Amino acid sequence: MYSKILILNFPPREAQKPLVCQLTKKYDLLFNILLAKISNQKEGYMVLEITGEKANFKKGVNFLKDQDVRVSYPEQEIWKDEEKCTQCGSCTAVCPTEALHIKRPEMEVLFDKEKCSLCELCILTCPTRAMGLFSKTPEEVM
Ligand code: SF4
Ligand code: SF4
DSSP 54-109: HHHHHHHHHHHHHTT-EEE---EEEEE-TTT-----HHHHH-TTSSEEEETTTTEE
Question: How far apart, in whole angstroms, are the C-alpha atoms of residue 52 and residue 63?
Answer: 15
Measuring from atom 3 of ligand 1, which residue has the nearest CA?
Answer: 95
**Ligand 1: which of 97, 111, 125 to mutate, most ligand atoms within 8 Å of CB?**
97
Residue 30: give the domain boundaries.
2-72
Domain boundary, last residue among 23, 51, 72: 72
Taking 60 as the threshold, does the pLDDT of residue 136 lie above it? Answer: yes
Pairwise pLDDT comparison (100 vs 44), residue with the higher score: 100
**Average pLDDT of the chain?**
87
Residues with CB under 6 A from ligand 2: 80, 85-91, 109, 125-126, 128, 130-131
Give yes or no: residues 24 and 59 share one domain: yes
pTM for the complete prediction?
A: 0.62
- The pLDDT tens digits for 54-113 are 899 999 999 999 999 999 888 788 999 999 999 999 999 999 889 999 999 999 999 998
Residues with CB under 6 A from ligand 1: 78, 94-97, 99-100, 116-122
Torsion sign over Cα 52, 31, 74, 99: negative
- CATH number of the domain that residue 125 is part of: 3.30.70.20
End position of a domain, from candidates 72, 94, 111: 72
